[in-house]
């Protein structure tokens, strides 16, 4: 039987005679990665599989009601990272809703550049990760009567 190259570790391996179409070698790390990819793909493509996984997680949480609270207490960095990620998702959702909303109908792209000044800007320029924030400021329109009165 001929050798194959594992798609993960790129090492040559001999496919099992029970699985002649084997594409991944039998090293535990490669098998773990294969299962993880299968699981993620299946979650996206199979609603029933997704539901079964969700039910299973729910049952586990019911059997271990204190786990999440204890984990958060012992992993403050993880809590902060989750909090930041959630804020980012909330901002994105908020922005998407604004775009969908008629009130922001005259939303336009601005080609303006942002220049960073000061000693901390040097650190920011070196860093690949830069936080960005999008602000949408509604224009204030005065009614003709109010404009005439002021
Ligand atoms: Zn491998």
pLDDT in tens, 30-52: 999 999 999 999 999 999 999 99
pLDDT value, residue 150: 45
Q: Which of 83-92, 101-110, 124-133, 140-149 has the lowest mean pLDDT?
A: 124-133
- Residue 1's pLDDT band, with cuts at 50, 70 and 90, is low
Sign, CA torsion 70/75/78/79: positive
Nearest alpha-carbon partner for 131 in 123, 119, 139, 140: 123
Angstrom distance (rounded) from CA 70 to CA 57:
17
Confidence of residue 98 (pLDDT cuts 50, 70, 90): confident
pTM above 0.75, yes or no: no
**2 alpha carbon – ligand 1 mean position (Å):** 16
Question: How many A from CA of 38 to the centre of ligand 1?
Answer: 15
What digits encode the pLDDT tens for the residues 99-139? 777 555 555 666 676 676 676 666 665 554 555 555 666 66
Q: How far is the CA of 139 from the centre of ligand 1 (A)?
A: 59
Distance 13 CA to ligand 1 centre (A): 8
Please state which of the ranges 2-6, 84-88, 94-98, 124-128 shows the lowest mean pLDDT: 124-128
Q: How far is the CA of 70 from the centre of ligand 1 (A)?
A: 36
- Cα of 30 from ligand 1 centre, angstroms: 5
How much is the pLDDT for 95?
86
Distance 37 CA to ligand 1 centre (A): 14
CA of 10 to the centre of ligand 1 (A): 6
């Amino acid at each position: 039987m001929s050798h194959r190259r594992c798609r993960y570790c790129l090492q040559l391996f001999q496919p099992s005679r029970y699985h002649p179409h084997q594409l991944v070698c039998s090293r535990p790390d490669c098998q773990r990665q294969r299962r993880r990819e299968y699981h993620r793909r299946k979650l996206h493509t199979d609603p029933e599989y997704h539901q079964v996984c969700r039910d299973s997680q729910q049952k586990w949480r019911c059997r271990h009601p204190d786990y999440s609270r204890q984990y958060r207490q012992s992993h403050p960095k993880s809590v902060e990272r989750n909090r930041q990620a959630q804020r980012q998702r909330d901002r994105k959702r908020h922005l998407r809703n604004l775009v969908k909303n008629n009130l922001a109908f005259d939303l336009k792209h601005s080609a303006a550049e942002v220049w960073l000044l000061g000693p901390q800007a040097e650190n920011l320029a070196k860093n690949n990760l830069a936080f960005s924030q999008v602000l949408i400021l509604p224009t204030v329109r005065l009614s003709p009567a109010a404009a005439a009165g002021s």
